[in-house]
Amino acid sequence: MRHVYFVDTTLRDGEQAPGVAFTVREKVRMAKMLDALGVDQVEVGTPVMGPPEDEAVKGIVRLGLKTVVSTWNRVNIADINASLNCGVKNVHVSAPVSDIHIKSKLGKNRRWIIESMKRAVCYAIEHGCMVTVGAEDASRADLGFLISYAIHARKEGAERLRFADTVGVLEPFKTKKIIEAMVDDTGIDIEFHGHNDFGMATANTYAAFKAGARFLNTTIGGLGERAGNCSFEEIVEVLKQHEDVDLNINYELHPCILRYLNAAAGRFTPLPHLNCSSR
């Protein structure tokens, strides 16, 4: 039976939804609930943002959860130090990989991106961290450069590469083709991060899984920046219906998390509930 790993980013990308700002107490409580739900990893925030973000991260680390607790960082040393100061030992370091983002967002070039990523990964590993590497706007990147970026990340010791459809422009057939190439040509585990701008975040995440991605980014209720992220509920149901996979999920707890998230996020529209019945 194939295992799928859920990397929940409700407390990081979910909080980027319009009008959403969790308190420290809410983030700590939701982290406990996500741990009990059975997700494999919880991405809890970006400590370099300072208070109250770093306070929430420290509070979550002190819980001693079973799930992996990780933070999001840019490819610079200050970000990593901020995570280390919170007691975090699982860091995600991320950089843009599309030319439009490299040039217009950072005013840099491809060589600078790779060297900065390598430096950040090396620094984090030297300080005892498990590191994953993010490829922002990967869906609009040159595939050859993206593969090179992933190979360099693997050589530096990164555990896996997060392929981010940052602006939500992919469709499932293209997703499957690109992720298959990444899996075949890089030798590194692939994690998929989908946005829902075209309403295809779940479909793209499923296509990535079919192509060999073992780590899937989700948020509870699909909460997230702009149109949202891949819905945890939707992809769980898709995998349960169509694939023979190990879904170690506490279905009975799920409605409590939805109710709490709705209240904390100020969202009062109904959200989908997981079906705990067998296939």
- pLDDT score of 277 more than 60: no
Question: Cis (ω within 30 of 0) for the bond into 52?
Answer: yes
Query: Global pTM?
Result: 0.94
- CATH number of the CATH domain containing 31: 3.20.20.70
Question: Does pLDDT of 28 surpass 90?
Answer: yes
Structural domain harbouring 39: 2-265
Nearest to 70 by CA among 129, 150, 128: 129
Residue 184 domain-assigned?
yes
Angle between helix axes 53-61 and 77-85 (nearest 10 degrees) is 50
Does some domain include residue 253? yes
Phi and psi at residue 215, in whole multiples of 5°? -120, 125
* Residue 272 lies inside a defined structural domain of this protein: no
User: Which of 54-58, 110-114, 173-177, 275-279 is least confident?
Assistant: 275-279
pLDDT of residue 1: 67
* pLDDT above 90: residue 236: yes
Confidence of residue 20 (pLDDT cuts 50, 70, 90): very high
Asked if residue 251 is part of any domain, the answer here is yes
Tell me if 271 is assigned to some domain: no
Q: For residue 264, what pLDDT is reported?
A: 94
Could you give the CA distance from residue 194 to residue 224 in angstroms, rounded to a whole number? Answer: 10
Domain count across the chain:
1
Residue 85 counted as domain residue: yes
- Average pLDDT across the chain, whole number: 94
In a domain, 277, yes or no: no
Domain membership flag for residue 95: yes
d(CA 24, CA 36): 19
pLDDT band at 279 (very low <50, low <70, confident <90, very high): very low
Residue 271 has pLDDT above 60, yes or no: no
* pLDDT tens figures, 128-147: 999 999 999 999 999 999 99
Taken in order 198, 203, 204, 205, the sign of the CA dihedral is positive
CB neighbour list of residue 207: distance below 8 Å, 6 or more residues apart? 172, 173, 175, 176, 179
